[in-house]
Amino acid sequence: MSVTVASGQLESAAANRGHRAGFGHLLLAEWTKIRSVRSTVWTLLLFVIITIGLTALITWITEANWNGPHAAPRDARALTDPTSIIFGASIYLGQLTICVLGALVITTEYSTGVIRASLLAVPKRIPMLAAKIVVFAVLMTVVAEIVAFGSFFAGSAILHDRVSVSLGDFGVLRATIGAGLYLMIFGLLAMAIGTLIRHTAGAISIAVCIAFVLPILAGLLPDTSFWNHVNAYLPVQAGEQVYLIHPPSPQLLSAWEGFGVLCLWAAVLMAIGAYLLRKRDA
């Protein structure tokens, strides 16, 4: 194998010297990383299809087994709060998928060793993480809003004969946009945990615990003012306000306050992750 390194080729890069790489270049690089792994692309595609499909299935079951609001509590709920029936499935399943995706986006860098290549290219480290956050957040916002609006349109169309709900109704547009945003932030929360833990299985487990186990445990808290406050500020309980139109019980936080609290959780965890990323040996 000849190694005439073709000085011409090396010079051509030398000619490019001088224009320094900026944050835009890092965004482009992170986008290349995320789109060039087939598993990510397939997971996202399945995420969209399955969540919208499941929403359609559940609303169809509700519709097909309609007994009237006096006979079935589910039907009563569908009448008073149709969006909760519509989003119930997509958010539950969506949360799970997005926890996995969010964690994987950073932990696969560690499991495959790509982190070394990444950090050699961006030795200040934080700009790499920041670019990853932006690219993942934008991608997840798009995908999660497709899921939220897709679920809404599919679900409301199927329920149409029993109960009519449209984006123009009180709180519905906010809840639909909110459902997408909630999923996106949960993805970032999982990514923050991935940055902290650096292990795929561990990060996914913790993210899933926060999403599914913590709310159940919180349900066991004593019904006192103090514990009600604690409960209200937990990630899921606070965050879900943004897609609920008729919360089951009076809530301490409003829709956007709750969403802000969830964002704060994600931000704090990500800040700790960023600090450790800088501090630790890669």
Partner 1 sequence: MIEVTDLSKRFGDKVAVDHLSFTVQPGRVTGFLGPNGAGKSTTMRLILGLDHPNSGSATINGKRYAELASPLRTVGALLEAKSVHSGRSARNHLLFLAQTQGLPPKRVDEMIDLVGLRDVAKKRAGGFSLGMGQRLGVAAALLGDPQVLLLDEPVNGLDPEGVLWIRNLMKQLASEGRTVLVSSHLMNEMAVTADHLIVIGRGRLIVAAATEDVIARGSGHTVRVRTPQPDRLTDLIVAEGGKAVPAANGNGNGTEPNDHAPVLTVSGIPAPRIGELAASASIVLHELTPQLGTLEEAFLELTSGSLEFGHFNAEPVSQSTEGNVR
Applying CB under 8 A, the residues found at the interface with partner 1 are 1, 3-7, 9-14, 16-17, 19-22, 25-26, 28-30, 32-33, 36-39, 108, 112-124, 128, 279, 281-282
Shortest spacing between CB 23 and partner 1, in angstroms: 11
Shortest spacing between CB 50 and partner 1, in angstroms: 21
Q: Name the DSSP class of 248.
A: S
Shortest spacing between CB 242 and partner 1, in angstroms: 34
Cβ-based neighbour number of residue 24 at 10 Å: 9
Closer of 13 and 220 to partner 1 (Cβ): 13
Written as one letter, the residue type at 162 is: R
> Which of 137, 120, 218, 215 has the alpha carbon at shortest distance from 181?
137
Helix axes 172-197, 255-279, angle to 10 degrees: 20
Closer of 118 and 195 to partner 1 (Cβ): 118
Number of H-type helices and E-type strands within the chain: 13, 0
Closer of 223 and 281 to partner 1 (Cβ): 281
Shortest spacing between CB 15 and partner 1, in angstroms: 9
Closer of 28 and 61 to partner 1 (Cβ): 28
Shortest spacing between CB 72 and partner 1, in angstroms: 47
Closer of 34 and 173 to partner 1 (Cβ): 34
Q: How many angstroms separate the CA atoms of 136 and 262, rounded?
A: 17
Closer of 40 and 95 to partner 1 (Cβ): 40
Termini Cα distance of the chain = 34
| The two three-digit tokens of residue 250, written as one number | 């009076």
Distant-in-sequence contacts of 216-222, Cβ < 8 A, 24+ apart: none
Question: What is the number of alpha carbons within 13 Å of residue 36 lying toward its C-beta?
Answer: 6
Shortest spacing between CB 206 and partner 1, in angstroms: 23
> Which of 187, 232, 234, 228 has the alpha carbon at shortest distance from 214?
234
Shortest spacing between CB 273 and partner 1, in angstroms: 17
Q: Name the DSSP class of 146.
A: H
Closer of 14 and 221 to partner 1 (Cβ): 14
| DSSP H or E run through 80 | helix 73-80
